[in-house]
Chains A and B, each alone.
Chain A
Amino acid sequence: MTPGEPLVSWDWVFSHLGDIGQRVGEHLVLTGLAVAIGLLLSIGPGIWIARHPRYYGPVLGFAGVLYTIPSLALFAVLVPITGLSLVTAEIGLVSYTLLFLIRNVVEGLGAVPAEVRDAALGMGYTSRQLLWQVELPLALPAIVAGLRIATVSTIGLTTVTALIGQGGLGYFILDGLQRFFSTPLIVGAVLSVALAVAADGALVLVQRWAMPWARQRA
């Protein structure tokens, strides 16, 4: 970066619109995949822990430890095993979603009022019907809240996956740092923040749409 040069070169931005679109797409795919896999992996253990609360501590502790591993260190460990691949990137990203998702699945199920469960069983719901028709729908607000945290934090983390050649907006940040050229760095950072805000907003809409009973009460 040389003094006097503008912080953002709009010429660069306009000449790289196609490139920017591609990286945003990659970023969304990396994030979406990680959150989706994370959710699938969290629902089973979450339900199980909700039924056996004594495992809550150990499982959450494990997810917490995963969360505290620095992403660079995790990639360094994984690259010799899974290579500079999408799998490596996703193992890292998915690991970081588990803490929020498992915790919120458990808390959502735990918040289902005991009398609602009692009434459902008393009227002849099977335990499977109870889970799918009563418990999970009522846990949905908490689960979507977990999804929002996981999505926003994963969008931030995904910038790091450029280091193992998986693209995303991190590519611009890396590029800008390596070339001492501020424009791509700022484009990458601003877009990843904008993406996080947009994704969070979209999930709020999903939350409202999926829960008419909560909307009308408010």
Chain B
Amino acid sequence: MTLSPASPAGGQRAAADALAAGRPGRGAAVELRHVRKRYGAGRDSTTVVDDLSLTVAAGELCVLVGPSGCGKTTTLRMINRLVEPTAGQVLIDGRDVAAEEVTALRRRIGYVIQQTGLFPHQTIAANVATVPRLLGWPAARIAARVDELLTLVGLDPARVRQRYPAELSGGERQRVGVARAMAAEPPVLLMDEPFGAVDPIVRARLQDEMQRLHRALGTTIVFVTHDVDEAIKLGDRVAVLQEGGRLAQYARPAELLARPASEFVARFVGADRALKHLALLTVADASLADGPTVRDGQPLGTTATIAPGDPYVLAVDAEGRPLRWVGRDAAGAPVGSSTAPAEPPLVVLRRGITLRDALAEILGSPAERGVVVDDAGRYLGLLTVEAIAVALRAAETAP
């Protein structure tokens, strides 16, 4: 994910990002006040959403997550009034949505759904142009905006503009869906399981790109999913809903993992929540051990600080970049001439990777430690399993 191939499309995308970043902070706050949705009347009625109150700050990405039947989609649809609440209020930037003309309201709110809902009889360009057309933008402005948006979501306008949705792959269609939702620069974007129908590899890439877009555009996003991992990965805040449409917990992902508010939340986030929490922390969050190093080609014996019992010493080059582990039983002999058996392969970790990935790498290595380097590849210190455990405990008890 960190590698992005240098390509003309990549350059265009960077330009589009820069353009988008030039107008940040356009998000609007979304507030739900004691919202309730009940279908039917009297004894036969079912409560789908029950007295739900939550606030999404402007520019935040809020994920509504929960098992099926928890009312998360209904909640989302009450924001753009595809469902009218039985009681309570929904406010966008402090204004009650019920007081607004419904089509005008919806044209200001982006809407992305799992099955994309692209118009099969219209070209990709016409699909993306939907809301600007409804708003009566001039044709030239629409055409320019369409190309800008397609580039922004990583599609080549010249290739896809005149195609029909059926000619694109599932992942490409989903990108078009996102471009269409953002066409008129809505301050709020609603997304209902947008990546639920694409394969895991494409989903991970779309998630990464959406995070990038969200950071660049500053749009407020309300995102529905049933996938806890997706919620934790994407959400600035996560609202866990339980059956009957009650809010079980509303918190930042780390808080949710460290301190689930109830048995339900603990079970829903899963028994492996410690591992999930590690995915939110990076190597930079852990404290590193100061392992001894030796310059390549120099005698090992000159390194006075080798701790007894430590079987290996790290060899580094002139710039301080780690080269390999050197066995201690070769002490006294120059590094590189060692005949010691089987020196373990080097596990090199960049500071930015997650502790979860780091843990997996370390456990897979006979040396049982990772060599942490900075962005230039220079040695910083050693990371051990114990240090990861300490970092996790610190994060879980942090306020």
Contacts and interface: CB of A to CB of B under 8 A. Distances in A.
A124 B164 contact: no
Contact of A124 (B106, B114, B117, B121): B106
A5 interface: no
Interface string B86-122: 0000000000000000111111000101111111111
Contact of B117 (A116, A129, A137): A116
B117 A213 contact: no
A120 B180 CA distance: 11
A96 to B, nearest CB: 30
B166 A119 contact: no
A124 B103 contact: yes
A123 B121 CA distance: 17
Interface string B45-85: 00000000000000000000000000000000000101000
A116 B106 contact: no
B134 A123 contact: yes
Contacts of B115: 113, 115
B103 A216 contact: no
Contacts of A134: 119, 121
A131 interface: no
B199 to A, nearest CB: 19
Query: Looking at chain B, what size class is its interface with the partner chain?
Result: 20 to 34
B363 to A, nearest CB: 44
B103 A119 contact: no
Given A124-B107, A125-B134, A119 B121 contact: no
B118 A119 contact: yes
A115 B117 contact: yes
Contacts of A113: 115, 117, 120
Nearest to B167: A216
Contact of A118 (B82, B120, B122, B166): B82
A134 B133 CA distance: 14
Given A122-B117, A124-B105, 19 more contacts: A113-B120, A118-B113, A119-B113, A119-B117, A120-B119, A122-B82, A122-B111, A123-B106, A123-B180, A124-B103, A124-B104, A124-B106, A124-B131, A125-B134, A137-B121, A138-B121, A213-B121, A213-B164, A217-B164
5 contacts: A116-B120, A117-B117, A120-B117, A138-B120, A213-B120
